[in-house]
Structure 1
Amino acid sequence: MREVERLADRSVLHFTVTSLEDEPRHTGNAFGTAAGDFGSYRIPLVDPVGGKVYHPLTDQIGTLGSKPGYYEPGVRYETVVYYPPLPAGVRTVTAITPGTAGEFTGVPVVDGTGSGSAMSPTTAPGSTPQPGTTVSWPVREPTGEVTSSVQDLYGITESPEKTTDASGGDETVGLRTDVLFAFDSDRLTARAKAVLDDVAKETREKADPDRPPILIEGHTDGKGTHAYNMALSLRRAEAVRKELQAHLGGAYRYRATGKGETEPVAREGGADDEDARARNRRVEISYRIKQPTGGSTASETEETRADEPTTGGGRPAPFHADDGETVAGRTTTQKPTGQRLRIDAKPFYRDGAYLVAVFDIVNLGPRALGAGTGYGGDIAYIGGWYTGFSVVDPASHTVYRAVRMGPDDPHGPDDYVDPGWATFNVEPGTGNRGFFYVPAPPPGITSVTFDAGPFGRFDNIPVR
């Protein structure tokens, strides 16, 4: 990874790729996604301070930029990918590559003239470049309409009473109805009033009254009839609305709805059925967040260095090629297949407003893994390959879950800040480097607990 060149109409990621194989190999979807995008470089750019992700520009054919072909052994291929224009205040980004190379932190963003963005091959047509030479892929011109995509990053945190799903633009607070109501009741308990008092204070600090409404949605588990669940969820949402309105007054507008059992956040019917049902019984409070007004922020000034803290989070992480020594590990045997896997946790590290969990998962046999093998768990964060894993603050017991790209889509899979696939090397004796982003715990926390799903929990994982 070299740099991102910021232009008036686009941004250009510059990097080189060198094949370490002994014979020519086609790119396939080595830089695409689990769903395909063959022959393209599908590499999101994450602003870890501003909480944004910039996806490559696409047209009706695919990703815009270099058009790769066969990699000759030992040849350096100069490559570019096009993105939407990055804001002037963004000085460093993280490139999220699919595969075991994973995240490239600390990629500098420089202002450019565009002279180096359109590259042409340096070899004659039909000739074969020799090992040790540097050539450039041809750049494909767009065909038809060009699509641009920039998304907020959403951090998910959980406590025994609530789950918070927040970005820089909006926030959803999910309250467990087991905390708010007695069984089959829509009357708030005494404990609920104290919980909602805290929620009201937070809402007053964050919610923008000029971008209404505050939306209150009731949800049930899958027991009972659809009609009964819809009615109960609406009554509970109305009870929460009235209590919030009593605290916040008439400066805000509100809307209460009931969703019944139609939008679960956990899969019911499994080994953890009771916990899954408890997660699904909830009332969600959503609002748009106030935006800062007036004055310049640190991220908007040209004097801000890439290694200095800016608005939205801590310092962007510099690039480091070495993950460090294994700090914890464990072997698990899957039932009923008898497949054995080992996870080796590395030190975690901060990248802006996020914490990066890093680990290796090794296949100990006796058979090959499926290329789609993931670790999603029973929580319905569909689309992430490690959403069954989490990071826990041992002092507050706050749970930090995988960072999502864009708002939740209740009807389809979401994308998360991870490699886009969990298992690339499938044969026994091979391993895969994994990582995922979670919201960063408070700055003073120097070690965390790693909940690695089927592998168990690991205490005292250092945060560097």
Structure 2
Amino acid sequence: MEDPYRRRSRGPTLPATMVTALAVSGCGLLGGPATAPPASSPAGTPPARPSSSVTVADTGLAKDGWFGLTRPLHARVEIRAVERLGDRSVLRLTVTSLEGEARHAGNSFGTAAGDLGSYRIPLVDPVGRKVYHPLTDRVGTLGSKPGYYQPGVRYETVVYYPPIPADVRTVTAITAGTAGEFTGVPVVDGTGSGGPQAPAAAPGGTPAPGATVSWPVREPSGQVTGSVQDLYGIVEGAERTTAASGSDETVGLRTDVLFAFDSDRLTARAEAVLDDVAAEIREKADPGTPPVLVEGHTDGKGTHAYNMALSLRRAQAVRGELAARLGGAYRYRTTGRGETEPVAREGGVNDEEARARNRRVEISYRIRQRTGGPASAGAGETGAAGGRPAPFHAEDGETVASRTSTGRPSGQRLRIDVKPFYRDGAYLVAVFDIVNLGPGDLGAGTGYGGDVAYIGGWYTAFSVVDPASRTVYRAVRMGPDDPRGPDDYVDPGWATFNVKPGTGNRGFFYVPAPPPGVTSVTFDAGPFGRIDAVPVR
């Protein structure tokens, strides 16, 4: 089972992550003590409903869904806009509980241990290929601090972020629930303090259904930090895997292509592969600092000492070939990681494939930054990264294919209902419902990672395939690969909200978009099998 609190704030990793520290006196964040009415009520059983209800309300972009981990809150979320206020940006939204009784906020909109009752909603710039995480201090996320949701009451909520550039006109808000992604959120210039505009909810009071009130906002304590990360699109071919952002790129070459078994001598086939990589480095890479990094990796077989030595020798062999092709324009750093940084879980039903993916040499370099054009563009424009940001995705559309999986050890049957996929800037959004057909409840931590998945995402065993080129597009990662633990991906942050038989959970994940002319793709849905001719809209 994945760590349920896996989505976390990252430390400063440059160039992929920009971390902004704001002094308390300079950030201008307003608020008061976070208090909540001392009331409680048990959770009701969620309706047997596999997907979210979606509407465009006069007050904003609205979706109904279930939010939270083991006690999901059924609620309507309406997002108004993101406002720029100089030293920060402010996401404005309202949350209306659709439950029949009062419910404590708990961890409904946050997935960070020790930061319960916070709104941890990443903001994705799908054209500029960046993600903005909420501002935090030593206590947790800054912004509205919810208490108890009374039925039918609209709770105005604000969440604070680092400044978003003026040329970004729309973003996508990623909520941790079945409502998922809110595309087409406008980014506008704001006025005032950035705090809530509705009257504050009275401590211990019970607002009338239909009323609009605001949560208290917690004042920052100590230094305030905001994280802006690059998004990395992962693309796989038969010989290589590329993880690329707008700032840097990592090319992972399978050592089964480069070397014979248990050898550090390059094969004849490796010559053409390294010719292509050297040409890409010459075209894209900044010959200044940092140096080109060449890292060797093995699978988990063999002793640690042997794997470390073999991985280093293989990295050195690749480094020598690159230097011979590129001359003295670049500097290099070569390391061997052995089996310590796998990208796939070994020991499962797909053990051989997982081990083959872990045997690799990775070549990482900084991309040369070109001037003369914006890094991103707003609605209706095409940015340098390619693609237009999607308008608000109001409807998922009709199911285009369904498959049933019965491969779970418990005998539980699941059905996936696939919806049309759609483009959002530089990415493709894969959308589906997964329905529990029984018998029994789903485990609260049920995910679909699989043995050959990238570790950390809930749907990273799934992929999208261009049937013409056979290129495989996998999940989009937030920030650089983190060898310390699971990575974060652009997905709901959790897979199972409703667990009862007959209920379902809407899922989605982002992959790099295939070329503009691709109008249908193959969806490799892991345990559900391959589904051809999924339309791309």
Same fold, TM-score > 0.5, yes or no: yes
Q: Calculate the aligned-residue CA RMSD, in Å.
A: 1.6
1:56 match: secondary structure: coil
1:344 match: secondary structure: strand
Rate the CA distance shift 1:305–1:269 in 2: closer, same or farther, 3 A: closer
Q: Are the counterparts in 1 of residues 142 and 220 from structure 2 also a CA contact under 8 Å?
A: yes
Residue 188 of structure 1 is matched in structure 2 by: 266
Q: Are the counterparts in 2 of residues 120 and 138 from structure 1 also a CA contact under 8 Å?
A: no
TM-score scaled by length of structure 1: 0.95
Stretch of structure 1 that moved more, 88-97 or 123-132: 123-132
- Give per-residue Cα distances to partners, 1:432-451, cap 9 Å, x unaligned: 00000011111111111111
- Following superposition, the deviation at residue 320 of structure 1 comes to 2.0
Q: Are the counterparts in 2 of residues 170 and 287 from structure 1 also a CA contact under 8 Å?
A: yes
Stretch of structure 1 that moved more, 245-254 or 371-380: 371-380
- Following superposition, the deviation at residue 74 of structure 1 comes to 1.3
1:357 match: secondary structure: strand
TM-score scaled by length of structure 2: 0.83
Distance in 2, matches of 1:170 and 1:250, equals 21
Stretch of structure 1 that moved more, 26-35 or 234-243: 26-35
* 1:56 and 2:145 matched: no
Residue 343 of structure 1 is matched in structure 2 by: 416
Q: Are the counterparts in 2 of residues 448 and 460 from structure 1 also a CA contact under 8 Å?
A: yes
Residue 377 of structure 1 is matched in structure 2 by: 450
* 1:158 and 2:236 matched: yes
* 1:177 and 2:255 matched: yes
Residue 3 of structure 1 is matched in structure 2 by: 81
Query: 1:359 aligned to 425, 432, 437, which one?
Result: 432
- Following superposition, the deviation at residue 68 of structure 1 comes to 1.4
Query: 1:74 aligned to 137, 142, 152, which one?
Result: 152
Distance in 1, matches of 2:347 and 2:467, equals 29
Rate the CA distance shift 1:115–1:145 in 2: closer, same or farther, 3 A: closer
Gaps of 5+ in 2: 1-78
Give 1:323-334 correspondences, 5 Å limit: 323-334=396-407
Distance in 2, matches of 1:335 and 1:362, equals 14
Q: Which has the higher contact order (CA 8 A, sep 6+)?
A: 2
Distance in 1, matches of 2:498 and 2:204, equals 33
Q: Are the counterparts in 2 of residues 119 and 139 from structure 1 also a CA contact under 8 Å?
A: no
Q: Are the counterparts in 2 of residues 46 and 96 from structure 1 also a CA contact under 8 Å?
A: yes
Residue 440 of structure 1 is matched in structure 2 by: 513
Q: Are the counterparts in 1 of residues 88 and 163 from structure 2 also a CA contact under 8 Å?
A: yes
Residue 297 of structure 1 is matched in structure 2 by: 374
Distance in 2, matches of 1:380 and 1:435, equals 16
- Following superposition, the deviation at residue 268 of structure 1 comes to 2.1
- Give per-residue Cα distances to partners, 1:278-321, cap 9 Å, x unaligned: 1122111111111113x34274xxxx651211121210000022
1:173 match: secondary structure: strand
Partner amino acid for 2:390?
A
- Give per-residue Cα distances to partners, 1:187-213, cap 9 Å, x unaligned: 222211011101111111111101231
Query: 2:218 aligned to 105, 126, 140, which one?
Result: 140
Give 1:125-274 correspondences, 5 Å limit: 126-274=204-352
* 1:318 and 2:391 matched: yes
Partner amino acid for 1:3?
A
- Give per-residue Cα distances to partners, 1:350-400, cap 9 Å, x unaligned: 000011000000011111111111011113522211111111111111111
Query: 1:393 aligned to 455, 463, 466, which one?
Result: 466
Partner amino acid for 2:476?
V
- Give per-residue Cα distances to partners, 1:217-236, cap 9 Å, x unaligned: 12222223333222222222
Residue 453 of structure 1 is matched in structure 2 by: 526
Distance in 1, matches of 2:378 and 2:198, equals 33
- Following superposition, the deviation at residue 122 of structure 1 comes to 4.6
